Structure 1
Amino acid sequence: MLHIIDDEDVIRDSLSWLARSRQIAAMTYSSGEQFLTALDQPLRFDSAGDCILLDVRMPQLSGISLFDLLSEKKLTKRLPVIFLTGHGDVPMAVDSLKRGAFDFFEKPFNDNKLMDRVQEALALSREAGLAAAVHDRLESLSAREKEVLDLILQGKMNKVIADHLGISMRTVEVHRAHIFDKMQVKTAVELAGILK
Structure 2
Amino acid sequence: MTSNLTWHKTAVSKEDRVRLNGHRSAVLWLTGLSGSGKSTLANAIDLKLHESLVRSYVLDGDNIRHGLNKGLGFSEEDRKENIRRIGEVAKLFVDSGQIVLTAFISPFQEDRNRVRALFRKDEFIEVYVKCALDVCETRDPKGLYKKARNGEIPDFTGISSPYEAPAEPELTIETDRLSIDEASDIVMQYLKTEGIIAP
- TM-score class, shorter-chain normalisation, is 0.3 to 0.5
- Relative to the length of structure 2, the TM-score reads 0.37
- Relative to the length of structure 1, the TM-score reads 0.37
User: Relative contact order (alpha carbons < 8 A, sep ≥ 6): 1 or 2 greater?
Assistant: 2
Q: Quick check: which has more Rg, 1 or 2?
A: 1
Kindly indicate which of the two structures has a greater share of residues assigned to helix.
1
